[in-house]
Structure 1
């Protein structure tokens, strides 16, 4: 690299990082910042994206949610699940074994049949679920080690575009997890492998908002 090229790169970095409050405000924002879909269309798009990724998606009314959770978990044949400490107790059917995460060991988490959590938000355009790791979402390790993840997502948490998510959460937590379908990678000889970075199986229950 010649000296002139090196200086050109450094000058670009200095210009991009200099502390000038007007630079950020003056940046062009020609991308789509707000979607145009109504609630029903957002739910349809979110469901379509999740299913394209290979996730199972169900809808439920609020009053039917405990029964919907029990029915879905029963259909998987799994019986023991890890849950964050803040998950509503009425969601936890006595038909299953529940491990409440009060600092469970990694071994204890990994040897469960799955995990059940809530969510903070979702982006319909990309089919992405966002976890901020609140008391209903749990530690990040909960959604990395088990082979199965059931996520409870409320309809009002779904936005259409990523800029709308950041408008809703202008200062998201330093640790957030963005989930777009079950874990999968094709980095190894371009062969798709599931479960390398997290659960191989993702199920989502979308809870309809009540008027």
Structure 2
């Protein structure tokens, strides 16, 4: 037996209890929406906040004012918006910052000179505190949410599911519906070998989530 075979045999032996199937969650078992209940929404908000993101719970009619407040509070003088973003939200952003449309920021340099981005979301996952973007018209292309330093993201309560299997089932209802996905668990951060946290290395330094109740 070669050294490689011996190492692989040891790995297989050490992981037998976790790799042997004990039951498989099939797609047909996920017939309900998996939407989070009120406790799940609270869990989602707490998990997102635990990642050092700012969480603001608002009613639907309060979203425009909350967007303006978030941009103002974080000193954002310019903001890029996806082409499909709610026009009312865009108008609110225009009250406090210079708005640039997605088409007006074709390069990373254009985005790097922009303070913030405002987007909607595809869904949220309660148990992990994760926001998922599938980059439809109200979320824009991936670079839009990776380069500006502040991301204001609006997540509706009915978009929050309880766990990852329900998230995947909702994101890809059939095998042919594949889209690029960005999974966001808090602001961008990394740690060096001495465990010193550095934020904003590979994405926004500041994440503000507006969770729309009701």
In the alignment, the residues of structure 2 paired with residue 109 and residue 124 of structure 1 have an alpha-carbon distance, to the nearest angstrom, of 30
2:114 is the counterpart of 1:112: yes
Change in Cα spacing, 1:174 to 1:4, as seen in structure 2 (3 Å) is same
Partner of residue 73 from structure 1, selected from 67, 71, 74: 71
Change in Cα spacing, 1:4 to 1:56, as seen in structure 2 (3 Å) is closer
Q: Which residue of structure 1 lines up, in the alignment, with residue 180 of structure 2?
A: 175
Q: Which residue of structure 2 lines up, in the alignment, with residue 40 of structure 1?
A: 38
2:197 is the counterpart of 1:192: yes
Checking the alignment, whether the CA contact within 8 Å between 2:121 and 2:153 is kept in structure 1 is yes
Consecutive unaligned residues of structure 2, counting only runs of 5 or more, are: 13-20
Between the two proteins, the alignment pairs up a number of residues equal to 191
Cα displacement (A) at 1:190:
2.5
TM-score, normalised via structure 1 length: 0.81
Consecutive unaligned residues of structure 1, counting only runs of 5 or more, are: 13-26
Cα displacement (A) at 1:59:
1.3
Cα displacement (A) at 1:40:
1.1
The 4+ residue runs of structure 1 with deviation greater than 6 A are 33-37
Deviation per CA, 1:29-62: give whole Å up to 9, x if none.
368x889995211110011011111010111111
In the alignment, the residues of structure 1 paired with residue 65 and residue 82 of structure 2 have an alpha-carbon distance, to the nearest angstrom, of 19
Checking the alignment, whether the CA contact within 8 Å between 2:57 and 2:211 is kept in structure 1 is yes
Cα displacement (A) at 1:75:
1.6
Change in Cα spacing, 1:177 to 1:38, as seen in structure 2 (3 Å) is closer
Deviation per CA, 1:41-90: give whole Å up to 9, x if none.
11100110111110101111112211121122222221210111110111
Checking the alignment, whether the CA contact within 8 Å between 1:132 and 1:173 is kept in structure 2 is no
Q: CA RMSD in A?
A: 2.7
TM-score, normalised via structure 2 length: 0.80
Alignment partner of 1:166: what SS?
helix
Alignment partner of 1:135: what SS?
coil
